[in-house]
Chains A and B, each alone.
Chain A
């Protein structure tokens, strides 16, 4: 069974190719069936792999499926091979499973769109790239998937390239932003790969794992810091998270796919995959934990102030990814992956439910200030969204509760301030997720026009969501002690955690988390259902004067975009202009003038200064000659 693992890649590739070349003859329905069918088949293969692995001995649940020798240059060897182990299979199940549901949903959502065919080609390509990323058994293969995901996301986020509006600007720019920010992360990834190769002599995970002992602490730290840069880019962490909220410009199924199943989880997966390096580099791990914790907090505060339903969810994703980063940072790899899985369930659910809201409201309205009492008009969507929000808020019994708590448990052991940040973020999470629920679905309708035209979505758009809702509720059971222990299952791939909490501590922290989550929901209820229904969610009373400046900062996303515009993009463009105008035309031309004046005083027969170009070029060349001669004759 395991030898057939390559099929998992073939299906989406086939789907993309078929739709690309003969899609226009298949019609909408045909395209949809091919695209989703292929991902479902991939999911079936993933299931097969899962059971195949389960049949193996518990400590040797890992297999390499060698496809072909991809690159062999001197001693450098990168095979095209798949690594099948609990970690990659878990990821593959999530990607193909959630991906398949999103594909099915997208058939309804994109119905009647002009570029239906292109959309599904991109979507299948996206799944393919993500699978290459998680299944490759070496860094180079992973990098291929890494870039492929970036490219696919760029194509999909910019899908509505002809649109632009206030909140996203030109939609095509959003895609470009995502791609370019990711390139900065890729830069870290590529350098890390080089460093690994020069210090360990291999890029195959298994061999690097075995050879990692030879790494010095400095080298390991350097590698991990570069990997962290890569992860912050892909997984939208501080300081590179700016692209993710803008990525909402894409069609909603794409947002669901990017946020839930693919793309953003790549960074977390990569860290878990390279856990053996992080164990050698506690400094980098600590930094990752802090980056994660602060990202979680910051994104949660921003989410609290957003009024666009999808943007709330976008910031919540960043915040939840912060949790995962926090988890891998403190060494709780299994829990981070566990949270990744549950998050995939409930975030996909939330996005698709939000998609239903958008779909059912006139003009694709997303402003929660204009909603209210939608429960009456779209009850199914309400329940679905409620389940998702409960899981996100970490209410007991729901899946998010267990996975988030697992991470916090390990964080508490690692660093108390970080734990407090995590806990406070949990409170904020509960508040903002239920703020969205209450403002959108409960209370009274604030915009009668919107309310009147609201309608429930067709079955094709609600049925897949029930599957996700089911998973979002019971997903926590994956890691219930004794029953199904995902934590234990993943140990073969990511190693056993160094820390085993005692039961008392576990229960105390569990109780604290539960209380915090419920308190958050209670606060939101008091504020948004009982309180005045007009506000954006401003905290009133004496506290307001204290927190309002902070809120202003938060509502403006902590001015990160502005910071970039002022300090990074501006100077870079400025530098380019500077090269173009000042260096080429200013400095060089001036130098020509100077030479001319010298020659005036010497020969006295030059009439007037000319800014001809050939002389300029010759002068530039000559300056190079002089510089080189000086270097070699004096410096050498």
Chain B
């Protein structure tokens, strides 16, 4: 049996990698994928904790996160496509009509 803290640390590392990706990438799609990665690290955390506590709530939470993530993907892609129609680009550095 592997200790829970290992999972938590692994999840934290994945989360941080995802967050770094969000900060560094300029392609909206890749940023988006990084966000999904962060969500999945949270799922890992929840599963590990649910196992530690021996109850199902953490696992239910994971289901919900997956469903929400799917909805988020759908909405996000739709917005992205709408944006491409205006700008022909998914580089977020070019999105700056609205500023100070």
Contact = CB atoms under 8 A, between A and B. Distances in A.
Direct contact of A and B (CB under 8 A): yes
Interface stretch (A112-120, A209-217, A345-353, A609-617): A609-617
B19 A612 contact: no
A602 to B, nearest CB: 9
Interface string A534-566: 000000000000000000000000000000000
A606 interface: yes
B71 interface: no
A576 interface: no
Nearest to A610: B93
A595 interface: yes
Contact of A619 (B23, B26, B100): B23
Contacts of B95: 612-614
B15 to A, nearest CB: 11
A231 to B, nearest CB: 40
A619 B22 CA distance: 9
A615 B23 contact: yes
Contacts of A606: 24
A614 B98 CA distance: 11
B24 A612 contact: no
A167 interface: no
A313 to B, nearest CB: 46
Interface in B59-80: none
Nearest to A592: B23
B88 interface: no
A610 B26 contact: yes
Given A612-B95, A614-B95, A622-B19, A584 B24 contact: no
B59 to A, nearest CB: 26
Interface string B88-100: 0001111110111
Nearest to B92: A614
A580 interface: yes
A593 interface: no
Contact of A612 (B22, B26, B98, B100): B26
A603 to B, nearest CB: 8
A596 B24 CA distance: 7
Nearest to A611: B93
A603 B19 CA distance: 16
B100 A580 contact: yes
Identify whether the interface residues of A are mostly helix, strand, loop, or mixed.
helix
A595 B23 contact: yes
A533 interface: no
Contacts of A584: 100
A127 B24 CA distance: 62
A415 interface: no
Contacts of B96: 612-613
Contacts of A485: none
A537 B99 CA distance: 57
A448 interface: no
B22 A618 contact: yes
A589 to B, nearest CB: 12
A274 interface: no
Contacts of A613: 92, 95-96, 98-99
Interface in A198-243: none
Nearest to B24: A599
A611 B93 CA distance: 7
A585 interface: yes
A593 to B, nearest CB: 12
A221 B96 CA distance: 54
Interface string A615-636: 1001100100000000000000
A612 B99 CA distance: 10
A580 B100 CA distance: 8
Nearest to B98: A613
Nearest to B99: A613
B24 A595 contact: yes
Given A612-B93, A613-B95, A614-B95, A622 B26 contact: no
Interface in A568-584: 580, 584
25 contacts: A584-B100, A585-B100, A595-B24, A596-B24, A603-B24, A610-B93, A611-B93, A612-B26, A612-B92, A612-B93, A612-B94, A612-B95, A612-B96, A613-B92, A613-B96, A613-B99, A614-B92, A614-B95, A615-B23, A615-B24, A615-B92, A615-B93, A618-B22, A619-B23, A622-B19
Given A612-B94, A615-B24, 18 more contacts: A580-B100, A595-B24, A596-B24, A603-B24, A610-B26, A612-B26, A612-B91, A612-B92, A612-B95, A613-B99, A614-B92, A614-B95, A615-B26, A615-B92, A615-B93, A618-B22, A618-B23, A622-B19
The 5 tightest CB contacts between A and B, nearest first, are A612-B93, A610-B93, A614-B92, A613-B96, A599-B24
